[in-house]
Structure 1
Amino acid sequence: MKKIGLLGGTFDPPHNGHLIIANEVLTQCQLNEIWFIPAYVPPHKQKMNVTKLEHRVNMVKLAIESHPSFRLSTIEIERKGPSYTYDTIKSLKVKYPDVLFYFIIGTDMVQDLPNWKKIDELIKMTTFIGVDRPGFSFKSKYAHVIETVEAPLIDISSTFLRQRFQNKQSTRYYLPDNVRQYIKENHLYESTRSSPNY
């Protein structure tokens, strides 16, 4: 039976932290593929400004294009509305009944699991894989159902990178060069000041 890991997120922008986590889970858990799932509307970011879908999808495509086991899934974009994991997993299990799905989360998400939509049903539908993130722990009443993976603690966030772009600070080595070039060409994350020096 095929084993696929799911890595959801806003990916605004995708960065090397995402790619390292995905690759560690792929190899340590012996999965066949990792699917990157850009959120249509992240439930926890409904009131925040998020970069247009077209750009976020294009950036993910560029970020993963060189890895033979990484794929893009637009299931949440096609469904529209708030991107709840329960709805995503339910749809995927109907569409791919012969696939085992593993949902990848960071320790920052573990503590919030009790607030997830239909979490008690969700943990029966998929296996959660937890990856360490600096400053967080796996303390949760759902910790016992989470498989843990050790990965290099790369403390990069999309928020951090957006600020670096806006402040015209170097982003080299934080994200793939082709994604950096795309951001430059499409003037993403620019402030109202003069053109950024990437």
Structure 2
Amino acid sequence: MTALEKSIGILGGSFDPVHNGHLSIAQSFLDSDLIDQLWVLLAPDPPHKTGRTQTNYQLRFEMLQAAFKNFNGVKVSDLEKKLPQPSFTIQTLEYLEENYPEYTFRLCIGGDSLRDFKKWKDWQKILDHANLLVARRPSADIKNIDENIKNHLHFIDHEPVQISSTKIRDAVANGDDISGLVPSSVNKIIDNENLYRLKV
């Protein structure tokens, strides 16, 4: 990377819904000073998410925009919606490299994703297009990482927030309060659109 090139972090997901854990890890990536911007990409049809129908893409995108509205250095993007489905990381990175040659890209993932990384489609090719920026607990064991991956990653310390989109959907379905789990702007959309409630 030359001094003039910007380093862009890529954080992808289905964000169904986006929650405070996502915001926390995004802030950790931004605070690392290893990227100039963080692009948050909403996946229309993640290949690893099966067994349930995703919430309407536009509503998920609206929630994502609302959640990151006041974040400096974050760009929320729907570019994966324009790519062939399902959404594979390798094709997204190839698209970005071709269309944004002035940038270098880092793929931002959590420690759980790193453990499964060799199961990703064309994982070796992914490393040809982007290095990995991995958020992990300071106490995490990193001894058993494949050498081919280790040469393409950088760790940042991050204490994960124990929230999941699945738990939030279940909580809403049960009528539980989620105000401490998602930004208020996202909670408002969930309420207004009657999302995740049991259909009777």
Question: SS at the partner of 1:101?
Answer: strand
Unaligned runs of 5+ in 1: 194-198
Partner residue in 2 for 1:196? none
Does structure 2 retain, via aligned residues, the 8 Å contact 1:7–1:104?
Answer: yes
The residue aligned with 1:124 is 128
Q: Distance in 1 between matches of 2:38 and 2:145?
A: 25
Q: Match for 2:18: what amino acid?
A: P
Is 1:140 the counterpart of 2:155 in the alignment?
no
CA distance in 2 between partners of 1:36 and 1:173 (Å): 22
Deviates more, 1:5-14 or 1:145-154: 145-154
User: What is the TM-score when the length of structure 1 is the normalising length?
Assistant: 0.90
Whole-angstrom distance in 2 between the partners of 1:172 and 1:99: 37
Give 2:193's aligned residue: 186
1-structure distance, mates of 2:87, 2:145: 23
Aligned 1:81-120 pairs, distance under 5 A: 81-120=85-124
Do structure 1's residue 171 and structure 2's residue 178 form an aligned pair? yes
Which residue matches 2:156? 149
Offset at 1:153?
2.1
SS at match of 2:41: strand
What is the percentage of aligned positions where both structures have the same residue? 29
Report the CA distance between 1:30 and its aligned residue.
Answer: 3.6
Gaps of 5+ in 2: none
TM-score if structure 2 supplies the norm length? 0.90
For the structure 1 residues 38 and 153, does the alpha-carbon distance in structure 2 shift closer, same or farther, using more than 3 Å as the test? same
- Write the deviation string for residues 36-78 of structure 1: whole angstroms up to 9, x where unpaired: 1011110101442211101111110101111121111111111
Contact 1:110 1:143 in 2 (8 A): no
* RMSD of equivalent CA atoms: 1.9
Runs in 1 of length 4+ with deviation above 3 angstroms? 136-140
Are the counterparts in 1 of residues 8 and 35 from structure 2 also a CA contact under 8 Å? yes
Count how many residue pairs are aligned between Structure 1 and Structure 2. Answer: 193
- Once the 2 structures are TM-superposed, how far is the Cα of residue 20 of structure 1 from its aligned partner? 1.1
Q: Which residue of 2 aligns with 1:159?
A: 166
Whole-angstrom distance in 2 between the partners of 1:47 and 1:172: 27
